[in-house]
Each structure stands twice: as C-alpha cells, then as structure tokens.
Structure 1
Amino acid sequence: MPLEKAAPQVLFLPLGTPEAGVSLQGWLYESLRGAILGGRLPAGSKLPSTRAMAEHYGLARGTVQAAYQQLLSEGYLQARTGSGTRVSEVLPDPTLNAGYVRRKVVAKSVEQRVAPRTPWLSKLAEIEPIFSRRAAPGGLLPFFPHRGDIKAFPIDLWRKLHTQQLRSSRLSLLLDADPAGLPALREAIAGYLAIARGVQVSAQHIVVLGSVQQGLDICLRLLAPGDSQVWMEDPGYPGARQLMEISGVNRVEVPVDRCGLRVEEGLRLAPGARLAYVTPSRQAPLGGELSPARRLALLRWAAEQGSYIFEDDYDSEYRFIAKPIPALRSMAGAEQSVILAGTFSKLLFPSIRLAYLVLPEHLIEPFTRAAALMSRHANSLAQAVLADFIDEGHFDRHVRRMRKLYTSRAEAFAEAAHRHWQGLIEVPEIRAGMDIACRLLVGNEQDAFARLRAAGVDALPLASYRVAPRDPGLVMGFAPYEERAIDEAARAVARALRN
C-alpha cells in the first residue's frame, strides 16, 4: 500500500509588525488568517504550539490561545489529539474556499509554465540522453550496453581506503581543492598511463574532471568557437554528438568502417575543421581499431591545420585477444594536438564520476581555469581514495581480474548467440570492451527493440549512434551478466524475434 504524502510542516512565519491601535490578539489573528488565505500556510500545515508561538513572538500565551481559538471556531484551523493544530483542508466560507482553490490553480499554472525557447532549450527538448534510463529494480536488464559488473568491485577494500582518508589528520580533504585535481591522483594517473597506455607525460599535463563529457564540453567551448567545423564519427558515441548539437558547432559526420574513422572522408568534407572526436582504440560502437595508416593521416592533418584531436579512450583496457594497443597520444608528434580523455566510470563504477584529460602544454592553463569556473573541482575525497587505490596496486589487479571475467562472459555471449540466434542476429568476433554491435537479420530496429523490451530484454538500436542509414543492428552488452543469465536472456531474444 503506498504511503500517504506527509503534510507540510510550518514552524514560524514572518508576520510583520503590529499596527498602532490594533490589539496583539487581533494582529496575530489577522496575520495567520491572511497567511492561510494567501497560501503561505498551505492546507494541512502544522502550526507551532501556543507556548512556542508565544515565546517566538514575545506574546502572552493567553493571547496566542485566543487567536488560535478564534481561527478554530471559524474553521480556518483544526485541532486533533496527537496531531497538533493544522490548517483546515477546506475553508469555512464557500466564497473564500473558491478563492483558495483559484490560488492553488494559479500556483499550479506557474509551476507548469513553459520555459522560454532559447536555442539551448529548443535543442535540449529534442535530445533524449540514451544512457540515463533507469535500471530495473533488480538491476540492469540484459543486454543493456556500456556497463560493467559493479558486483565484482572490491567494495570492502574501497570502504577501508575511504575510512583511512577520513582521519582527523586529513580533514583538509573536506576543503576546496586544486581545480586541476589532487597532485597525488595526477601523479598516479601519469604512472598508470606510462605503463598501460604508452603515454609518457608529467602530472602537470593532467586535469581531473567529473566526466569525459565535461572534458569534451570544455574543448568545444575553448577550441571550436561559434560555428566551427568538428569531425564526429558516424556511427559514434551519442553523448558526444548530442553535446555538439547543443554547443552550436558545425558537426561534420565522418563515416566509420572496420578500420575506424575514414580520415580521407573527413579531409574531403571539412579539411579546415577545428576539432576531431575519435575513439581510436575501440571505436564506439562498432569496436574496430583505427589503423596505423589512418592514425598517421589524422596526426598529419591536425599538425598541418593547427587543429586538435579529442581521443576518447573509454574502455581500451578491456581487450581480450592481446595487450591493449597504445593510445594515439603516445605517437610521435601527438603531444601538441591530441587531447587524451580517460574515465574511471567504466573501469570502476559509474557513480565515481572521475575522469581526466591529458593536455598539450599550451592548453593546461586555459583548461584549468575553465574547469575551476565551471565546476570548481572534482570530488577531492574520491580523488584521494582513488589515488591510494592506484598506488597500492589495487587498480591494476582489479582491471586484470575484470578483463578475465569479461573475456569469459564475451565467450558465453558469443556461444549463446550461435546457439539461439541463427538467422536472427549476427554477432561479430568480440575482441574487446563490454558490449558489441550486432547485425539484425530480421525486421527493423525499432520493432526489434520494442519486442525485446516487452520480453524483458534491453539493447540499443544502432540507429541511436548514427546519422547515415546503415544495415539494421543492435548494440548489446554482456559484461554485467553471469553466464546463466546470458543464456536465459538469449533464449528470450530468440522467442521475441521469432514471434
């Protein structure tokens, strides 16, 4: 049975100063009556006790009791044993009550007032962030993509590190922090990048933010002013495309194939673009790697044009067939044009909301100033815990453990697809990541999406990632789901699509 909504609790209202010649009892009565009729004391609001009211306003308790009694007798208040004195739900005079209702309707209409149609609001009204959908009560529905298994995270260890940071000797963490990020975390990230991503960089080149989205937002504001042209992968990460849409830049959709961004098409469509957004280590969502030849061509274009490359390195650590390939930022000549973005939301858990940018030397100061202006700084307590988590080797062990776990689940997903989806869905080789773009062999994406949702299975239509028409497909995740759940969900997919 749903719980009843609690009545609003009102303590004291500013009632103004008594007018000359008006008794204190009459002043209090008129003030409370006016507050009720004016809606400042809503229906069901609880008034203070007569003793508390008298002490607060410096009145005799008898004066307050007399004013309360008059309002009670006229029906403006009601008193119940154990519930105190409250504003009546219905006012005594039908005429007054009609006015009371009219005021509530007016207040409601104000709440429903439509926001002005500014360019930003107009564009936001047309955008639905696809990754903000709520999980089912029992967790994510299979096969929702872009999520890891939070149940496998070492939460007890994280709690221990968190508690250590809350010692009385470390309370300075509760104050404002460096907008570029805690030095300890930036040092830890620099050390990690040198080993895992082949990027040799000092901690001074790293800025810690709340998300990669925030980093891209700063890039668009600082490096692509006005209607500057910006390359966007097609298909590509919807969050980046939507951010470009509301930022006002001239987004140029550059096609992607199995070797990643087709740089020659970008040069043909918009050679003078100010920025290129790419996912070279594992293209989102198709999963391919940007070929060496195209990496060189991309860097050459950026150097010749004085443009920048935003490298979204979102989950390259989860590579199953070999060691992770080096980041684009690790290549010779990349240090002046490539902005490397990484996130811990994919590698640890989404709500940690910590990410980083590796910046060229000349962008460190403006980006730090922008971060300070837009968000002051990322959560410093979480930064300190993460720094210890990395320095003590827990991060590396966690990533290796999750890579092994996701490898087995990728294999289970591929086996279930082969067993149940013949003639329905074609699943390519899963080489890395937490999800895979699959080819839909029957029907259309929207119909398949609706059928799967009705069957308790989730996925994202490939159309959510692209602008140019392509073969129908679904982006499906496997990382958070155990082998048995994968097989059961695969059976449900088969039933839904065959029906």
Structure 2
Amino acid sequence: MAVDKTPPEVVFLPLGTPEEGVSLQSWLYESLRAAILLGRLPAGSKLPSTRAMAEYYKLARGTVQAAYQQLLSEGYLQARTGSGTRVSKVLPDPTLNAGYVRRKVVAEVKESRSAPDTPWLNRLAEIDPIFSRRTLPSGLRPFFPHRGDIKAFPIDLWRKLHTQQLRSSRLSMLLDSDPAGLPALREAVAGYLAIARGVQVSASRILLLSTVQQGLDLCLRLLAPGESQVWMEDPGYPGARQLMEVSGVRRVDVPVDQAGLRVDEGVRLARDARLAYVTPSRQAPLGGELSPARRLALLQWAQEQGSHIFEDDYDSEYRFIAKPIPALRSMPGAEHSVIMAGTFSKLLFPAIRLAYLVLPEHLVEPFTRASALLSRHANGLAQAVLADFIHEGHFDRHVRRMRKIYASRADAFAEAAHRHWRGLIDVPEIRAGMDIACRLHVEDEQLAFERLQEAGIGSIPLSRYWVANTQAPGLMMGFAAYDEAAIEGSAKALVQALRA
C-alpha cells in the first residue's frame, strides 16, 4: 500500500491579534505570509478553505478570499482543482524575503526577552544538557560509550511477563501506585542489594524513581538549600555537574586521582559542604575505585559535619577481574549519611527508566513526600514486570550472562587497540564497566573527535568530564554494545581517520 507523503492539512494556525489601524485583510495576509516564510506552514501544506477560515476567525469570507488571492498572485500559494490551496514548494523573491525573515526573527527574539528573568532560566541557558535531543547520538556507532547491548536482552520473556500483568484480573496495575514504589519491587531490590552489593537494608528504606538524576535533584533540593556547597568529582559525570549548575548550589570541584576522590582536598576547599557526589565503586569516567582509606575519611567527614554522601552506583555489577566490590553504603555507620542510588537502565535497557534510592531512615518520609509532589510515582506497570523478572531469577541470569559477554568484548577491544592503535591511542587495563577512558597521542583532542565523527566512529572527548582541564588529551570509548566483528572493523577505520 502506497504511503501518502503529502504534508498533513494545517487546520488553523494561531495568528495573533490584529494591531490597531491595520485592516483585517492586511493582518491575515501578513500573518499567513510570515507563517510561510518562517516555516510554520511548510511547503505543500494545505490551508483550510476560505469558508472554514472565515468561520473560525470570525471574518467575512470576502476578506479571506482577498488575502488568499494576494498570496496566490505573489506565488506563496498554489490552488489546484481537487487539491485545495497549498503552500508553494518554491517561494518568490528570496532576497526580499530573507530580509523579512530576519526582521521577524529579531522581533520574536525581542518578544521572548520579555519572558520572566529567573535564575533557573538564566543558568539553564548556559548549559547544553547531556540528555538533550541535540546531544543524543543517532543509533549505535562503535565506540560510543555508556551503552549496553539491547539486542542481547531477553525481549520475548519480558513481553510474556508484561502480558501477564495486563490480564483482566490485574487491571489494578493500570491505576496509580504507591509514591515510594511497588512493595514487591522494593522487596526485590532489597534482596538484590544484600547479595550483589553487600547492603543489608529494609525495603521500607528504598524509594523507587525514574532516574538517578531525579534522585540527585531531590538531594539538592532537600539537603543543600540556598547556596550550600556541594562536592563534585573532577573529572566527573557531566549530568550531575549540570544539575548542580542549574540548581543554584555552590559546586566545589574536588580533584580525583587513581585512588578516587581526594577527600583531603574536599575538606580543605569546603569542609562545611552539605553534600558530596561520588562514584566510589567505579569512578566516572576514569574507572578506578575509591580506596578503603578514603572511604573511611569520607564517612568520617560526613558524620562530623552532619552532611550526606550521594553514592552513584551506576554499573558496579559489570566487574571482570573479581567479584564486585561492596558498596560504600555497606560500610559500618554509612546508613546514617550515605544515600545510595542505582539504576536498571544500565543493567537492562535505557527505556525502562527505573532507578532507586537507599535512604537513611530520617530521610524516607521527606523524600517520599517530595517525590510524590514532583512526579507522583515511577511507571507502575514497568515496576510490576521488573518485580516478576527479579523474583523469578531472570534478572540474576541476565546480569551474569551480560557480564561474560562484556568481558569478552573488553578483551576484543583491548586486543584490537594493541594491534592497530599503537602510537595513536593508549587503552588501560579494562577491569569493569561498559566503557574506558583512553589517552590520545595527539595534541588536538577536539579535532581527533571530529575526524572520528566524520568516519562514523562514536566517542566522547575526555575534556567534557573535567573542569580543571589538567588531563592529557583523551577519548571516552565504549565496547559493551558492539560485537567482536564491529570492534575489529571500527578499530581499523579509526586508524585511517586519525592518520588522515
């Protein structure tokens, strides 16, 4: 069956209010002409009939006919029997129209500046959100990082569990659910954390959310009021840094080395900070672990200051050389000051949009109330399916299987780098995760990144994770989402792109 590619009919556009002293015919003509030139009425779009337009805007039909006729005579519209009146595919006098468009755009910008001038809007205008439509990659191109292999997910099993939840006897799943999260999933998460992360916690301490970002936002709102100081790893996760930038807190960039966050530097720079953001199990992006001595120092600082630690435990399950190391939250005394965050978007698939917080007892009620106010609750149907997925053992089997697959691909990535990239890129030992921070043996990191983009090879410049910019040129590169053949082929293409 052929697909009609004709642009859909434009029923009615918001045309604004006529200015004083301007005739209705001139107002309608100018409004439609502006909509055409500014792309609001794209080429081929069908306009309403003169009768329908007149009735909708409460105009005389002769007024509409006159405006349409002027646009037809100037070439902006075309009228054909059986096809109606449509926007011309080739517009007239492009030179004159270019000036007209510029004037309209300037006028609209000036009008937009009358919008409320708020700190949030001002700070938001200064960043390019890491999750914006512009920054998200199209498709999966080796070696774009932070991605798992969705093709390996047991989608047929997930569909079966999903269907079971949609039986007529279970339609209550389609109603609102507990703001803290489905009890069955909270119990499942508590059981998982006890085995996999060494965290013994009651299900009542777990708050289910859509994203870890949402959990950090709650922490900034509730625990770091006004211009409170907050520690941020440098280098560190850009999404956390950007959220701090727009929240209004005073971000304190604390340096990171091979042993993780420099706690002594954090204390020197901002002893009175109310919150510290850390990735202790696998530092983002460098990949190291927070040393035992610094874990103790971090907990001691938080306890002495009455501050809190936000532990982002984002992909700790994927560790290849030994069992996953226990979470910071599992340490004695951590239950009072550590807020542990985890996500299923890394372990299963990004679109599941389910995450959790493990909260100190005194924060459970205020965080649940705040979450209910801001977002009601996470997707209840997805929660129910995930609870079954965990309780029936599918989750554990899937994670163990993916750990083996990713370990094999990490080896393939390291071997391909050794064969093809000597003198161009250094790849350190890959001990965990889905990506690795690599050093570039070129001076211009941005140019190397652009050359790889042109060659269809994904990566992220390492400088995007830093504030101090003291690091050598590098790229964040992923391997988990790509099979061995794709890794080998792209490794060869990378050499050609960089040497060009």
**In structure 2, do the counterparts of structure 1 residues 271 and 492 end up closer, same or farther at CA, with 3 Å as the change threshold?**
same
> Counterpart in 2 of 1:485?
486
> Counterpart in 2 of 1:23?
none
State how far apart, in whole Å, the 1-side matches of 2:123 and 2:4 are.
37
Matches within 5 A, 1:59-458: 75=69, 82-83=82-83, 109-110=107-108, 113-115=111-113, 116=115, 117-132=117-132, 133-136=135-138, 139-458=139-458
Letter of the 1:489 counterpart: S
Deviation at 1:109, TM superposition (A): 4.8
Q: Quick check: 1:165–1:385 contact (8 Å CA) kept in 2?
A: yes
Relative to the length of structure 1, the TM-score reads 0.83
Deviation at 1:440, TM superposition (A): 1.4
Deviation at 1:467, TM superposition (A): 1.1
SS of 1:177 mapped into structure 2: coil
State how far apart, in whole Å, the 2-side matches of 1:282 and 1:171 are.
41
State how far apart, in whole Å, the 2-side matches of 1:294 and 1:79 are.
75
**In structure 2, do the counterparts of structure 1 residues 106 and 285 end up closer, same or farther at CA, with 3 Å as the change threshold?**
closer
Q: Quick check: 1:165–1:381 contact (8 Å CA) kept in 2?
A: yes
Q: Quick check: 2:26–2:67 contact (8 Å CA) kept in 1?
A: no
Q: Quick check: 1:313–1:340 contact (8 Å CA) kept in 2?
A: yes
Q: Quick check: 1:237–1:284 contact (8 Å CA) kept in 2?
A: yes
State how far apart, in whole Å, the 1-side matches of 2:106 and 2:382 are.
40
Of 404-413 and 256-265, the range deviating more from structure 2: 256-265
**In structure 2, do the counterparts of structure 1 residues 75 and 496 end up closer, same or farther at CA, with 3 Å as the change threshold?**
closer
Letter of the 2:284 counterpart: A
State how far apart, in whole Å, the 1-side matches of 2:494 and 2:365 are.
51
SS of 1:162 mapped into structure 2: helix
Letter of the 1:241 counterpart: R
Letter of the 1:496 counterpart: A
Letter of the 1:9 counterpart: V
Q: For 1:273-322, what per-residue CA distance to the aligned partner results, in whole angstroms no more than 9, with x for missing partners?
A: 11000000000000001111111111111111100000000000000001
Q: For 1:178-198, what per-residue CA distance to the aligned partner results, in whole angstroms no more than 9, with x for missing partners?
A: 111111111111111111111
Q: Quick check: 1:317–1:324 contact (8 Å CA) kept in 2?
A: yes
Deviation at 1:496, TM superposition (A): 2.1
SS of 2:276 mapped into structure 1: strand
Deviation at 1:45, TM superposition (A): 5.7
**In structure 2, do the counterparts of structure 1 residues 224 and 168 end up closer, same or farther at CA, with 3 Å as the change threshold?**
same
State how far apart, in whole Å, the 1-side matches of 2:107 and 2:4 are.
27
SS of 1:232 mapped into structure 2: strand
> Counterpart in 2 of 1:495?
496
State how far apart, in whole Å, the 2-side matches of 1:373 and 1:274 are.
23
State how far apart, in whole Å, the 2-side matches of 1:164 and 1:147 are.
29
Q: Quick check: 1:39–1:103 contact (8 Å CA) kept in 2?
A: no
Quick check: 1:6 aligned with 2:4?
no
State how far apart, in whole Å, the 1-side matches of 2:381 and 2:5 are.
36
Of 279-288 and 72-81, the range deviating more from structure 2: 72-81
Letter of the 1:212 counterpart: V
Deviation at 1:385, TM superposition (A): 1.0
SS of 1:176 mapped into structure 2: coil
State how far apart, in whole Å, the 1-side matches of 2:317 and 2:166 are.
31
**In structure 2, do the counterparts of structure 1 residues 2 and 265 end up closer, same or farther at CA, with 3 Å as the change threshold?**
farther
State how far apart, in whole Å, the 2-side matches of 1:121 and 1:49 are.
41
Identity among equivalent positions (%) equals 71
Letter of the 1:228 counterpart: S
Q: Quick check: 2:233–2:256 contact (8 Å CA) kept in 1?
A: yes
**In structure 2, do the counterparts of structure 1 residues 129 and 73 end up closer, same or farther at CA, with 3 Å as the change threshold?**
closer
Q: Quick check: 1:10–1:45 contact (8 Å CA) kept in 2?
A: no
Q: Quick check: 2:50–2:61 contact (8 Å CA) kept in 1?
A: no
Q: For 1:309-364, what per-residue CA distance to the aligned partner results, in whole angstroms no more than 9, with x for missing partners?
A: 00000000000001111111011100010000000111111111111100000101
* 5+ residue gaps, structure 1: 12-31, 58-65, 90-101
Letter of the 2:370 counterpart: A
State how far apart, in whole Å, the 1-side matches of 2:158 and 2:262 are.
42
Deviation at 1:35, TM superposition (A): 10
**In structure 2, do the counterparts of structure 1 residues 398 and 111 end up closer, same or farther at CA, with 3 Å as the change threshold?**
farther
Deviation at 1:150, TM superposition (A): 0.7
Q: Quick check: 2:186–2:208 contact (8 Å CA) kept in 1?
A: yes
Letter of the 2:277 counterpart: Y
SS of 2:335 mapped into structure 1: coil
State how far apart, in whole Å, the 2-side matches of 1:459 and 1:362 are.
42
Quick check: 1:471 aligned with 2:472?
yes
State how far apart, in whole Å, the 2-side matches of 1:120 and 1:108 are.
24
**In structure 2, do the counterparts of structure 1 residues 110 and 267 end up closer, same or farther at CA, with 3 Å as the change threshold?**
same
Deviation at 1:225, TM superposition (A): 0.8
State how far apart, in whole Å, the 2-side matches of 1:407 and 1:282 are.
16
Q: Quick check: 2:8–2:46 contact (8 Å CA) kept in 1?
A: no
> Counterpart in 2 of 1:17?
none
**In structure 2, do the counterparts of structure 1 residues 88 and 419 end up closer, same or farther at CA, with 3 Å as the change threshold?**
closer
State how far apart, in whole Å, the 1-side matches of 2:31 and 2:177 are.
44
Deviation at 1:246, TM superposition (A): 0.9
State how far apart, in whole Å, the 1-side matches of 2:122 and 2:270 are.
27
Q: Quick check: 1:72–1:79 contact (8 Å CA) kept in 2?
A: no
SS of 1:181 mapped into structure 2: coil
Relative to the length of structure 2, the TM-score reads 0.83
State how far apart, in whole Å, the 1-side matches of 2:104 and 2:448 are.
45
**In structure 2, do the counterparts of structure 1 residues 134 and 238 end up closer, same or farther at CA, with 3 Å as the change threshold?**
closer
Q: For 1:4-31, what per-residue CA distance to the aligned partner results, in whole angstroms no more than 9, with x for missing partners?
A: 43231359xxxxxxxxxxxxxxxxxxxx
State how far apart, in whole Å, the 2-side matches of 1:80 and 1:497 are.
55
> Over aligned residue pairs, what C-alpha RMSD do you find?
3.5
* 5+ residue gaps, structure 2: 14-23, 37-44, 73-77, 89-99
**In structure 2, do the counterparts of structure 1 residues 240 and 107 end up closer, same or farther at CA, with 3 Å as the change threshold?**
closer
Q: Quick check: 1:147–1:479 contact (8 Å CA) kept in 2?
A: yes
Letter of the 2:493 counterpart: A
